[in-house]
Homo-oligomer: A and B are copies of this chain.
Amino acid sequence: MEIRNPYLLFLGDAPDQLAAKTANGVRVWRPDWCIGQRRLPGCNADCAVPDLTIEEAAAAGARTMILGVANRGGFMPDSWIAEMVQAVSLGMDIASGLHTRITAIPELVEAAKAHGRSLHEVRQPTREFSVANGTRRSGKRLLTVGTDVSVGKMFTTLAIERELHARGLAASFRATGQTGIFIAGSGVSIDAVIADFISGAVEWLAPENEPEHWDVIEGQGSLFNVSYAGVTLGLIHGAQPDVLVMCHEAGRPHMRGMPHFPVIDIPTCVAACLEAARLTNPAVRCAGVSINTSRLDEAEGRAFCARIAGETGLVTVDPMRDGVAPLVDAVLRD
C-alpha cells in the first residue's frame, strides 16, 4: 500500500472538529499534500484548506481522497458512497481510516475496478508478515513509547522526523496507526496484525538501511496499559531501537478509560521499556521525555517538565510549546 498524494480530505457530515481529527492531523503534518477538503451539508469540521467539489479536486490534481473522519454509528450514508464513486470515476484512489470497510461496498468496488483505481483500508494490513527473527539490522532506529495510549507519541515522532530533516539528516517516519499512515503515505496498522506477527511486521516496516539513516517509529499503547501491552512489547522487540523517547500526558487522572488503573510513573515506565528493548538491542538508551502539558497552564507545564527532568535525569520537553530540538540533541549525542 502506497497512498498517492496530493490528497482531497473528505470530511462528510462530521458533526464536530473532533470527528475530523485524523484529517486534521494529515493537514497539520502534510500541508503540501492537502489541496482541499470536501464537506457535505451538516459538516461542522474545518481543516482550513479550500472547499472543493470532487470535480474541482480532480481538476486540481488530487490523486487520493482521504476518509479521515468518523462516520456515525458505523453506518455509511448513501451520500458518502456517491461521492466516493464519483472520486474513483474521476481518477482518484480512496484511502479510508473507517472501521466500516469500503471494500465491502459493491458499487464502489465495481467503480474502482472499472477505472483501475485502488481502495486502501488503512486499518487493515494488506500483506502477510513473517514471525520476527530478531537479527540485527543496519541503520539507526528511534521508537516512541509512552505511559499510556493517546499521550502524543505520533506528534512527538513526527516532530523528531521534521527536526532531523531540518538538520540535513536522513530520516523516515514509520507509521503504525491510521493517521500516521495517511501522513507517511504507507505503514502498518500494527494493532490489526495477527498476534504472532506483531514484531515481524515491525521488522518489515523498519528494514535494514544505511548506517546513518534514522527510522523514527511511531509507538503504540503502553507496557502498562493492559489492553494493548502485547502490541507495545512486539513493537519494541521488532523495532530494535537504538533510542527510546518516552511520551506522557501531564495531569491524566488514570489510564485512559480505566479508572481502576493509576497512570504509571515515568521512571518505572522508562526502566521497563529499556529492559524490554535490550533483548534485541543491548545498547538501547532513553534519550528523553516528551510531555503533553495541554491540561496545564504554561507555568504549571514548565514546572512539570522541570520536575520530570529532575526525577529522570533526562531531557524533558513539551514538543508543542518548546519543540523537540533539545530532544534531538540528546538523540544524536552518543
Contacts and interface: CB of A to CB of B under 8 A. Distances in A.
Interface string A270-295: 00100110011000000000000000
Contacts of A29: none
Given A192-B195, A260-B134, A230 B227 contact: no
Query: Binding site of A, secondary structure by majority: helix, strand, loop or mixed?
Result: helix
A230 B176 CA distance: 16
A196 B200 contact: no
Given A192-B194, A194-B194, A272-B275, A134 B227 contact: yes
A199 B228 CA distance: 8
A237 interface: yes
Number of copies of this chain that the complex holds: 2
A230 B237 contact: yes
A135 B255 CA distance: 13
Interface in A190-240: 190-196, 198-200, 223-224, 226-235, 237-238
Interface residues on A, range: 35 or more
Contact of A230 (B133, B134, B231): B231
Contacts of A226: 132-134, 199, 237-238, 279-280
A250 interface: no
